[in-house]
Structure 1
Amino acid sequence: MRGGHGLARVAVVVRAGAAPLWWLGVLAAGIGLLPEGLTGRRIGVLTGAALFLLAAAMVCAARRKRYTALAASAARAGKHDVLQDRAVTARNWRRHHRWWLLLAFLAALGSAVAAPAAGGMLLAGCGAGLWLKAAWLGRREREGEALLWVRVDWLRGGVAHPAGKRVKAYRSTGIAAGDAAPGGARRKTPALV
């Protein structure tokens, strides 16, 4: 096949939502501590802590079997495939999800009327879960000595997911390809060419 595809790192797509969810959650939780709320601050914070742990665990564990199956059947990327930069992948994800992030932040703020800080801590837990999932993917990439990529055209649309129904297969490259380390973090040393 002569024509290649644009490829985005799976771990970078997963990790792209972690920072905005975490910081919006922390901000919403901080603002949410100002009102006393219906339950009181103490109960709100305790509820929020439980929601944080539950959200982090659920987000981290979600679709693991699907990720594992797609990774196991990943085909080698072709020489005509184009590897998308880490910054571009993260920017695209955040642009497509900006309204969802805003609505989640407003919902977390609004929930402070009932339970102070709980909604913000739930949001932060989702961000922490995405970081944990990206770290899990990074361990898989290191063990398999191959980075996982997904076609960019399968990620189009606001709710596209790197392990969603539209994704038919992953591609793989050597561990030094691209500008992101295993797990999607910024590479500390330049990639080998």
Structure 2
Amino acid sequence: MARGVQGLARVAVVVRAGAAPLWWCGVFAAGIGVLVPGLTGRRIGVWAGAALFLVAAAVTAVRGRRRFTELGRGAVRAGKHDVLQDRAVTVRAWRRGHRRWLSAAFFAALGASFAVPAAGGMLLAGCGAGLWLKAAWLGRRERAGDALLWVRVDWLDRRGGRPAGRTVKAYRSTGIAAGDAAPGGSRRRAAALV
């Protein structure tokens, strides 16, 4: 890239990128795991899994909110030469960078089913649900501030991933209509693009 030009990825899209893979890995692992009687029995496993799901969703949804708020409050307007990364590119980069981790988490959740059926899968699904909740929270903040939040791509680690990590110094902002993702990181509806 030319000097002064920065690639920017949507903060909410990076947060949301892990939600679907974690959710579906968790659902599949829980579905397969419930077929195994395990050491504790299915009933205890499912109840333990439900508790883990709720705790994981809550913790994931609220973790790091202060840092997101601080960075969002100090966001400066993106320059006219900044390049806004497409939603699909951001999601693909995150998922490629986390493939091994997601596979390991899936197999660990399956393995845990031999002890506590379905609990590991429900924990993973809870993390995915928490990321959706966090992205929705970011979307509400973006709508309230009438500005979308972006992070420099080179400040994200090479796996595509922590939009509020230590390497991130500040966010950039644009108008609410910029880019191809709606507030919260979801796809824009076709009618909104016209």
Which TM-score bucket, shorter chain as reference? over 0.9
Gaps of 5+ in 1: none
Q: CA shift at 1:190, angstroms?
A: 4.7
Paired residue secondary structure (1:113): coil
Residue 89 of structure 1 corresponds to 90
Give the alignment's TM-score, normalised by structure 1.
0.97
| Contact residue 14 and residue 161 of structure 2 kept, 8 A | no
C-alpha contact 2:21 2:128 (8 A) present in aligned 1: yes
2:171 is matched with which residue?
170
Q: Is the CA contact (8 Å cut-off) linking 1:178 and 1:191 kept in structure 2?
A: no
1:126 CA drift (Å) = 0.1
Q: CA deviation at 1:25?
A: 0.2
What is residue 153 of structure 2 aligned with on the other side?
Answer: 152
8 Å Cα contact 2:93-2:160 kept in structure 1: no
1:2 deviates by: 5.7
Task: Flag structure 2 segments of 5+ consecutive residues without an equivalent.
Answer: none
Which residue is equivalent to 1:43?
A: 44
Over aligned residue pairs, what C-alpha RMSD do you find?
1.3
Please state how far the C-alpha of 1:191 moved relative to its aligned partner: 3.9
Alignment coverage as a number of residue pairs: 192
Identity %: 73
Where does residue 33 of structure 1 map in the other structure?
34
SS in 2 for 1:105: helix
In structure 1, C-alpha distance between the alignment counterparts of 2:184 and 2:160, rounded to whole Å: 21
Task: Tell me the secondary structure at the aligned position of residue 177 of structure 1.
Answer: coil
What corresponds to 1:108 in structure 2? 109
Q: Give CA-to-partner distance per residue, 1:148-187, whole Å, 9 cap, x none.
A: 0000011132373000000000000000000000000000
TM-score (norm. length: structure 2): 0.96
Q: Which amino acid aligns with 2:44?
A: I
Q: Secondary structure at the match of 2:8?
A: strand
What amino acid maps onto 2:68 in structure 1? Answer: Y
- Counterpart of 2:57? 56
User: Which one-letter code corresponds to 2:100 in the other structure?
Assistant: W
Distance 1:50 1:145 in 2: 37
